[in-house]
């Protein structure tokens, strides 16, 4: 019987890590190996970050992709997601229907002016109506005429084939639909839709040649094994972009009092996602300011993408602080959205 620790000792190269070198040579780690690496307190987090940085540097150099969110429809949702301040169980929340084309275009203009590469149009709700999809599609067509270089990501919930085709024809470049958690832990997070429905939506977008974006929320009570399972699920689906959110607890939600994460734990999570998905765009998403705290710049050694500005219903830090952070770390803004291939 193979001893997992013998395998890990080989991966770690005895006294010094050679993880990145072996991954770049095509020797990808298994789920069992990744779990042992992640949960072993004897392995220093900064050693994992260092190995992850080698992969980030190989595939993305010093580039950082910038993304901006527009909350285009808020608070109108029949779902019971335990982390979300817009869920049906929240009594006090901001509610408004899908905003006008002009308002969405103003957001695109702001994204263009702030050197943002990807503009994300987000709607609350289980999924869009055909009328809402047409509204988004017409707006995207208009934005593309004025700013053809601006990548458009739509995050509209569960969608069908006809809607995916319409969004593709309009020029939507990317569709975000997060898995959020592991298949095992999904029922603890939400009961109004299934894990399989989320996976099916991501696969539908891939089928229609829309770049798939799907990520996770860490810090909702999931286990170490759940986190590794998430990373491998996204690897299996083969998404292009992985936003990693760290729970920003909102009072009144199921997880509103939860406080599990430390800055170092967040770095360790990011490092493992990079080691498991070495070629993918890994984005530090919601909750980075409150969870990573002063280690936000260090996280850029692993991630190659961030959100700039506010999130859906929680605030981000001022844009200039993000630009300063990128510059201070010796990185530069990346406008190229091509996905590297494994070598």
Q: What is the pLDDT of residues 211-257, one digit of tens each?
A: 999 999 999 999 999 999 999 999 999 999 999 999 999 999 999 99
pLDDT at residue 319, as a whole number: 82
The count of structural domains within the chain is 1
Q: Per mean pLDDT, which range of 39-48, 52-61, 287-296, 302-311 is the poorest?
A: 302-311
Position with higher pLDDT, 11 vs 188: 188
CATH assignment of the domain containing 306: 3.20.20.70
Instruction: Specify the DSSP class assigned to residue 339.
Output: P
Asked whether residue 129 is domain-assigned, the answer is yes
pLDDT at 4 over 50: no
Instruction: Specify the DSSP class assigned to residue 176.
Output: E
pLDDT band at 318; cut points 50, 70, 90: confident
N-terminal to C-terminal alpha carbon distance within the chain: 31
Backbone angles phi, psi at 59, to 5 degrees: -90, -25
Asked whether residue 297 is domain-assigned, the answer is yes
pLDDT at residue 73, as a whole number: 93
pLDDT band at 3; cut points 50, 70, 90: very low
pLDDT at 117 over 80: yes
Which ranges of 160-318 would DSSP assign to H, the alpha helix?
Answer: 161-170, 186-189, 195-207, 224-237, 263-276, 288-292, 296-299
**Residue 85: domain span:** 57-334
Asked whether residue 165 is domain-assigned, the answer is yes
Position with higher pLDDT, 259 vs 114: 259
Asked whether residue 42 is domain-assigned, the answer is no
Contact 215, 178 (CB under 8 A): yes
Average pLDDT estimate for 126-155:
97
Asked whether residue 313 is domain-assigned, the answer is yes
Position with higher pLDDT, 10 vs 220: 220
pLDDT at residue 336, as a whole number: 58
Average pLDDT estimate for 150-174:
98
Q: Residue 216's Cα: distance from chain center in Å?
A: 6
pLDDT at residue 316, as a whole number: 56
pLDDT band at 59; cut points 50, 70, 90: very high
Asked whether residue 115 is domain-assigned, the answer is yes
Asked whether residue 14 is domain-assigned, the answer is no
Asked whether residue 102 is domain-assigned, the answer is yes
pLDDT at 93 over 80: no
Give the CA dihedral 5, 10, 12, 18, nearest 10 degrees.
-160
Enumerate the β-bridge partners of residue 63: 332
% of the chain at pLDDT higher than 90:
81
């Amino acid at each position: 019987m193979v001893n997992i620790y013998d395998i890990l000792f080989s991966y770690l190269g005895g006294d010094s890590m050679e993880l990145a070198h072996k991954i770049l040579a095509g020797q990808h780690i298994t789920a069992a190996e990744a779990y042992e690496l992640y949960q072993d307190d004897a392995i220093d987090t900064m050693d994992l970050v260092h190995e992850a940085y080698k992969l980030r540097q190989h595939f993305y150099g010093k580039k950082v992709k910038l993304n901006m969110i527009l909350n285009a429809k808020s608070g109108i949702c029949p779902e019971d997601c335990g982390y979300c301040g817009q869920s049906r169980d929240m009594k006090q929340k901001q509610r408004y229907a899908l905003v006008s084309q002009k308002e969405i275009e103003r957001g695109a203009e702001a994204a263009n002016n702030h050197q943002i590469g990807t503009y994300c149009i987000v709607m609350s709700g289980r999924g869009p109506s055909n009328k809402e999809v047409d509204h988004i599609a017409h707006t995207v067509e208009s934005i593309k005429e004025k700013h053809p270089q601006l990548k458009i990501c739509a995050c509209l919930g569960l969608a069908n084939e006809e809607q995916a085709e319409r969004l593709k024809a309009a020029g939507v470049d990317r569709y975000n639909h997060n898995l959020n958690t592991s298949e095992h832990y999904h029922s603890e997070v939400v009961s109004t839709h299934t894990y399989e429905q989320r996976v099916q939506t991501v696969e539908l977008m891939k089928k229609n040649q829309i770049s798939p974006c799907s990520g996770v929320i860490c810090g909702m009570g999931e286990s170490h094994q759940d986190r590794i399972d998430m990373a491998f699920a996204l690897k299996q689906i083969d998404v292009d972009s992985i936003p990693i959110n760290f729970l920003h607890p909102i009072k009144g939600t199921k997880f509103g009092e939860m406080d599990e994460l430390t800055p170092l734990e967040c770095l360790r999570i990011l490092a493992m996602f990079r080691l498991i998905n070495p070629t993918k765009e890994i984005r530090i998403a919601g909750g980075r300011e409150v969870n990573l705290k002063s280690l936000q710049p260090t996280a850029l050694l692993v991630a190659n993408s961030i959100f700039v500005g506010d999130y859906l219903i929680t605030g981000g830090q001022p844009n200039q602080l993000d630009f300063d952070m990128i510059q201070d770390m010796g990185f530069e803004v990346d406008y190229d959205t091509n996905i590297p291939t494994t070598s």
